[in-house]
């Protein structure tokens, strides 16, 4: 699946993950530090992912 | 995963609350949580005129959205910091939000008076965040006075407060600990109280709210935040929160309830309100307030620089 990391705008392909929690673990991202977005929906950790999905991982951490 | 409240499919899971919510129930939860913080801390009332300090980021725009939706009288105030494209995009987000919702917005651009943050940093060698803090405090206070507001509301969230608390404890900044509260009372008649209605809502929750309400906010980070200590503190707290959900909320809430009091100076030792700044007329402890001191320093350093690059005058 195609994954876009924001705000960096980094794009990568990730294979072999079936759930959001697997994707976050693969990318070493802690749950609760990003919004996991598919289209117009947010996904919870247990949501199933498909190889054809386009996922945005949007950081929620601000450093002001 | 099902919504804890209505059993429809959940869109967001909040481990700290041992809950999951669908979109409608999350929005209900979030708005109620902010409303409770406002009421519990007696931040303001329905007749208050609230200056909402908006940066263009998720927290301040989410706060403005909640307050306006709840029918509070709000005025947005955006300080354009002059940090290149980042500031331009931040300003645009605030202006488009205000326009879309028919809300009053006041914008002050630092570049218009030669005080853009990069210019200050270049002239004084001060850390950008330090200069930015001094400037924001001045303009927020001045804007509240000028716009006739009773209170200043900022978008500081639970993660900001937890990181700040950790930093203050690590360095035993007792004066800062004494003033780390969701409501900061004014120390002069020209000042108004400052409140943080989001102090118990995490930045994951404010980001979720902003996404669900389709608020177009600046996702990118301020370029000056790179390497900021607060990000290190947040990373540590995120790890603790991951292994023990609710850690941040407990840290901040229990400090407010049980710890804060220990750092308050006795009434007899509290600093008096001081005098008036000779530069801007706002309250000051010396001849100049910290903002006007900074401005004077910038003017002085820039004048020196101009003189050193001017061609020598021959007679």
ipTM of the complex: 0.97
Q: Quick check: B239 contacting A, CB < 8 Å?
A: yes
Chunked into runs of 10 residues, chain B (315 residues) has average pLDDT values of 96 97 98 97 97 98 98 98 96 98 98 92 89 94 97 97 97 94 92 97 98 96 88 96 97 94 72 79 90 93 79 53
Q: What is the mean pLDDT of residues A36-61?
A: 97
Least CB–CB distance from B225: residue in A41, A58, A64: A64
* B34-272 maps to CATH 1.10.8.60: no
User: Do B203 and A37 count as a contact with CB atoms less than 8 A apart?
Assistant: no
Q: Quick check: B20 contacting A, CB < 8 Å?
A: yes
pTM value is: 0.93
Rounded CA separation A53/B35 (Å): 37
A vs B: CB pairs below 8 A: 73
16-35 of A, contacting B, C-beta below 8 A: 30-33, 35
User: Do B211 and A62 count as a contact with CB atoms less than 8 A apart?
Assistant: no
- Give the pairing type, strands B275-276 and B283-284: antiparallel
Query: Taking CA A60 as the corner, what is the angle to CA A55 and CA A63, rounded to the nearest 5 degrees?
Result: 140
Rounded CA separation B223/B11 (Å): 31
DSSP state at residue B2: B
Segments making up each domain of chain B, as ranges:
34-272, 275-306
Helices B58-69, B23-40: inter-axial angle, 10-degree rounding: 80
Q: Which residues of B239-271 are buried (b: 16+ CB within 10 A; e: fewer)?
A: eebeeebebbbebbbebbeeebeebeeeeeeee
**Joined tokens for residue B116:** 């853009």
**Joined tokens for residue B313:** 């005058």
From the CA of B19, how many Å to the nearest CA of chain A? 11
Q: Quick check: A10 contacting B, CB < 8 Å?
A: no
Rounded CA separation B111/B30 (Å): 36
pLDDT of residue B92: 98
Which domains does chain A show, CATH number per domain?
Answer: 2-59 (3.10.20.30)
Write the CB contacts of B151 (distance below 8 Å, at least 6 apart in sequence): B43, B44, B48, B49, B50, B51, B144, B192, B193, B194, B195
User: Do B219 and A59 count as a contact with CB atoms less than 8 A apart?
Assistant: yes
Nearest CA in chain A to B163: A63
Q: Quick check: B1 contacting A, CB < 8 Å?
A: yes
Contact call for residues A53 and A38 (beta carbons, < 8 A): yes
Q: Any idea which of A2-11, A40-49, B258-267, B285-294 has the lowest mean pLDDT? A: B258-267
Q: Quick check: A50 contacting B, CB < 8 Å?
A: no
**Joined tokens for residue B3:** 């919504």
Least CB–CB distance from A62: residue in B1, B203, B242: B203
Q: Quick check: B184 contacting A, CB < 8 Å?
A: no
**Joined tokens for residue A20:** 């959001």
From the CA of A35, how many Å to the nearest CA of chain B? 7
Q: Roughly how many angstroms between the first and final C-alpha of chain B, as a whole number?
A: 85
Q: Which residues of chain B neighbour A62 with C-beta distances below 8 Å?
A: 57-59, 160, 203, 221, 225
247-306 of B, contacting A, C-beta below 8 A: none
Rounded CA separation B89/B220 (Å): 10
Least CB–CB distance from B220: residue in A7, A30, A47: A7
Half-sphere exposure of B194 (CA within 13 A, CB side): 21
Least CB–CB distance from A63: residue in B221, B238, B242: B221
The string of DSSP letters for B226-262 reads TT-HHHHHHHHHHHHHHHSTTHHHHHHHHIIIIIGGG
């Amino acid at each position: 699946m195609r994954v876009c990391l924001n705000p960096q705008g980094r794009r990568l392909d990730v294979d072999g993950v079936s759930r959001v929690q697997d994707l976050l673990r693969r990318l070493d991202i802690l749950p609760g530090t990003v919004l996991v977005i598919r289209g117009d929906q947010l996904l919870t950790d247990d949501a199933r992912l498909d190889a054809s999905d386009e996922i945005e991982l949007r950081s929620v951490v601000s450093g002001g | 995963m099902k919504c804890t409240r209505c059993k429809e499919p959940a869109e967001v899971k909040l481990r700290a609350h041992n809950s999951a919510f669908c979109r409608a129930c999350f929005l209900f939860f979030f708005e109620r949580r902010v409303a409770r913080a406002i009421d519990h801390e007696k931040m303001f009332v329905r007749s208050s005129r609230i200056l909402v300090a908006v940066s263009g980021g998720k927290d301040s725009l989410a706060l403005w959205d909640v307050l306006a939706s709840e029918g509070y009288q709000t005025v947005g105030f955006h300080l354009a910091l002059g940090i290149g494209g980042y500031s331009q995009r931040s300003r645009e987000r605030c202006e488009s939000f205000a326009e879309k919702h028919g809300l009053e917005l006041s914008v002050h651009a630092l570049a218009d008076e030669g005080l853009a943050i990069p210019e200050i940093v270049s002239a004084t060698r001060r850390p950008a965040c330090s200069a930015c803090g001094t400037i924001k405090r001045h303009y927020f206070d001045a804007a509240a006075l000028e716009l006739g507001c009773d209170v200043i509301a900022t978008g500081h969230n639970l993660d900001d407060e937890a990181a700040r608390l950790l930093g203050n404890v690590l360095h035993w900044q007792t004066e800062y600990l004494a003033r780390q509260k969701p409501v900061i009372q004014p120390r002069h008649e020209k000042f108004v109280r400052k409140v943080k209605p989001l102090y118990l809502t995490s930045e994951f929750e404010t980001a979720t709210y902003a996404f669900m309400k389709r608020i177009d906010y600046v996702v990118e980070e301020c370029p000056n935040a790179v390497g900021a200590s607060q990000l290190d503190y947040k990373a540590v707290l995120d790890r603790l929160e991951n292994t023990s959900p609710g850690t941040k909320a407990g840290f901040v809430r229990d400090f407010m309830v049980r710890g804060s009091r220990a750092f308050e100076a006795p009434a007899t030792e509290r600093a008096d309100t001081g005098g008036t700044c000779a530069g801007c007329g706002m309250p000051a402890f010396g001849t100049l307030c910290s903002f006007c001191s900074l401005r004077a320093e910038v003017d002085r350093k820039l004048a020196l620089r101009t003189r050193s690059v001017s061609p020598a005058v021959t007679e």
